[in-house]
Amino acid sequence: MTWQIFEEEASRYEAWYATERGRRADIAERALLEWLLRQLPETRTVLEVGSGTGHFAARLVESGFQVIGLERAPAMVKAAQRSFPSISFLLGDAHYLPLRGRAVDVVVFITTLEFLARSAAALREAVRVARRGVVVVALNRWSLGGLSRRFGAQSRRTLLGQANDYSLPRLRRELRDAAGARLGSMPWSSTLFPDGLWNFSAPVPVGDVIGVAGSLNGK
């Protein structure tokens, strides 16, 4: 999938979080991300792959982590650098991370894998540069939102209509294949449930977003 669609959306991307739907998603996804990172104790340094305009990178810094953001779209990187000049944002490709092996504690993907041309290769790179684990927050194929992105109103939106959503089994399988013998546990949860349960989080794989924290050993 081409990164140019994000280049074109850079000026409008952050404004979505000011909408009612955006605010709800932001609250729920931040809570899920914090829960996933708690499953990987003693994490201090984080690489966010697909950091966009820096929205979640800034939140991670507020939570006390040392953060590097990596993004392929130059306009997104420039927007992030303008908004959060104290955070390091790199222009780079998720499939070829410009970091040495085991350079950071945890690599994080927040609704990024589903827009990559070779998600499995990106996960292998994440495992290479991570010491403690890989965290993935992804759009859930088997949710009401997933159906809308494939067949409904969201399918006509520039970004969401391009998403290759994940099922929980696929996400766990790709992470397991990427980590190999280094993989430990894979706790997971889901959020953004329908019928007013948007801020509820539970290990029931029907929320619009699913998250997995894959712990890594030192092998």
Residue 95 sits in a domain whose CATH number is: 3.40.50.150
Range with lowest mean pLDDT among 9-23, 50-64, 127-141: 9-23
| Tens-digit pLDDT profile for residues 22-31 | 888 899 999 9
Angle at 17 between CA 13 and CA 22, to 5 degrees: 115
Q: Provide mean pLDDT across the span 5-23.
A: 74
Highest mean pLDDT: which of 38-47, 163-172, 195-204? 38-47
Residue 46 near residue 60 (C-beta atoms within 8 A):
yes
Q: Is 195 left (phi over 0), alpha (psi -120 to 50) or beta?
A: left
Output the pLDDT for position 6.
66
Output the pLDDT for position 199.
79
Q: Name the domain count of the chain.
A: 1
Output the pLDDT for position 91.
97
- With 90 as the cut, is the pLDDT of residue 18 above it? no
Whole-model pTM: value is: 0.91
| Tens-digit pLDDT profile for residues 72-117 | 999 999 999 999 999 999 999 999 999 999 999 999 999 999 999 9
- pLDDT band of residue 148 (cuts 50, 70, 90) is low
**Domain extent for 129:** 4-215
More confident residue, 196 or 190: 190
- With 80 as the cut, is the pLDDT of residue 4 above it? no
Range with lowest mean pLDDT among 2-16, 40-54, 131-145: 2-16
- With 60 as the cut, is the pLDDT of residue 155 above it? no
Output the pLDDT for position 20.
85
Q: Is 174 left (phi over 0), alpha (psi -120 to 50) or beta?
A: alpha
